Structure 1
């Protein structure tokens, strides 16, 4: 089927901008691309309004000056993340420069040595592929479950970019999910993002409001006796480097309790570094009511 005209135009523009950016030195490329996304793309795409509306819903006590700051800095982080992923080797070398820290590092190494499956869970925070890149530098190849984009032209080279960071990749499709399960059962380390609104998910808490959240990471951890470990690539003040944090494994209880623990882990980090989370997502779409006992 012929790609839609809109998809062809969007892909052509993005490929041109990304190509021009990649011609620049890394230290110039990353902040420049962040600036372009923040100052040009975000207003056109309506991201500024989305950031403001999400904050008004779940964090209404924030001062207006802080909201304005986040309307600038959240899209800047999104832009930096995109061009970092496309930077391949240079991005990997930067993440590999500092060893991961946290209570989960020893547990991850022990599981790898024992051949036990591991599910590394993160959110759209900092750079969500930084942990995967850092693990590869330590000899741990992290497979990734991902959602193919609607724009197939753009998805083709985006898939190549994330694959250059670490493989294997598993698209959300019957075939991809089957391959993912075989990989995990064989003792693989799988990376997952769990902070999208999922219409079929369980209603759990995130920032004191109802948020539809997929239980699949916890369910697979229980089914295949895999460690479930939150991990994050926290962008550092220079805007270029990262601290890779590997938290303690989530205890095996029920899928609901384990997934709520993942939400709580991410929320705690976002409250410390709100500019690094993708507030541009419709995280509370159709499920934004305050939880019982919580104030709006």
Structure 2
């Protein structure tokens, strides 16, 4: 698999730009065909009960678009040998860069919060290539996939820390690092129960816990491909600081509510960009299904 991906990447880099994305579109269409029917029902059902739309036909269109975009996303990653060392600059518009520059000058570190929307891999690569001390926290993949993606992340000067102890993350923040955390997926048995799309939902509380502990800003960074500009729009959003009182649980919950509100608003703005195939309420139902109002289980 590793050698195949390297060869495929070399092939992609030899193609004209228009052909690269045409192939990405084709890969995306194939990916949608390969998605199991019950996973498609899950995506469509979640779009409906989150009230993104009340039209099943439109919900299916959004679900398909959120899946087929992975073709272009993969192509962007395979192009890393071509776009490294500044080659990406003509494909990205960077908004509010000054926010990160000010935090970097402060030297205290920051938490960069992201979500599975747009091209989050390219987002991390661009931030690292721009010289920000980004350490992305990620799950370890299987051997070949992990070897390939980490080699390509290194091409973009991106460092990865596998999900590890709070102590290691605190150490990174103390060194002035920008800790990249993706916080929009089901955290399993961990997390805090806060509102999300109208339902109490288990949500990752790591950004709020670390932000409170180290008194560092939590800054959302997002990337959306605009068909109008033909570029990825990378936007840095205003920083959020955790209010610190004597009640740690309250502080973490209030901050996580604010973070979820941002995520929900962003998903409503760009619903085709989010990863609807993910079963977001799985563990909320498993742990609290008989105690609170949870979304209908559409994964069947």
2: distance between equivalents of 1:129 and 1:87? 12
1:255 equivalent in alignment to 2:267: no
The 1:18–1:68 alpha-carbon spacing in structure 2 relative to 1, beyond 3 Å, is farther
Provide TM-score, normalisation by structure 2: 0.81
Check the 8 A contact 1:270/1:277 in 2, yes or no: yes
The 1:12–1:137 alpha-carbon spacing in structure 2 relative to 1, beyond 3 Å, is closer
The residue that corresponds to 2:50 in the other structure is 58
The residue that corresponds to 1:191 in the other structure is 180
Equivalent position SS for 2:193: strand
Equivalent position SS for 1:129: helix
The residue that corresponds to 1:96 in the other structure is 89
The residue that corresponds to 1:165 in the other structure is 156
- 1:136-285 matches, within 5 Å, as 136-149=128-141, 151-174=142-165, 179-199=168-188, 200-237=190-227, 240-253=230-243, 254-285=251-282
CA displacement 1:99-118 (0-9 Å, x = unmatched): 5324xx44422221121211
The 1:157–1:64 alpha-carbon spacing in structure 2 relative to 1, beyond 3 Å, is same
Query: Which 4+ residue blocks in structure 1 deviate beyond 4 angstroms?
Result: 11-20, 89-95, 291-296
Q: Does 200-209 or 57-66 show the bigger shift?
A: 57-66
2: distance between equivalents of 1:128 and 1:227? 20
Equivalent position SS for 1:205: strand
The residue that corresponds to 2:40 in the other structure is 48
Check the 8 A contact 1:96/1:137 in 2, yes or no: no
CA displacement 1:45-94 (0-9 Å, x = unmatched): 32533321322332274323312321321112222222212321545646
Residue 295 (structure 1) shift: 9.5
2: distance between equivalents of 1:194 and 1:148? 16
The residue that corresponds to 1:35 in the other structure is 26
CA displacement 1:124-177 (0-9 Å, x = unmatched): 01111344333334432311111112x322121122223322332101145xx6
Provide TM-score, normalisation by structure 1: 0.82
Equivalent position SS for 1:257: helix
CA displacement 1:220-253 (0-9 Å, x = unmatched): 1111221111110111115951111111111312
Match 1:108 to one of 89, 100, 114: 100
Equivalent position SS for 2:284: coil
The residue that corresponds to 2:247 in the other structure is none
Equivalent position SS for 1:169: strand
What is the total number of aligned residue pairs between the two structures? 280
The 1:34–1:101 alpha-carbon spacing in structure 2 relative to 1, beyond 3 Å, is same
Check the 8 A contact 2:116/2:184 in 1, yes or no: yes
The residue that corresponds to 1:125 in the other structure is 117
The 1:215–1:27 alpha-carbon spacing in structure 2 relative to 1, beyond 3 Å, is same
1:26 equivalent in alignment to 2:17: yes
Residue 19 (structure 1) shift: 5.5
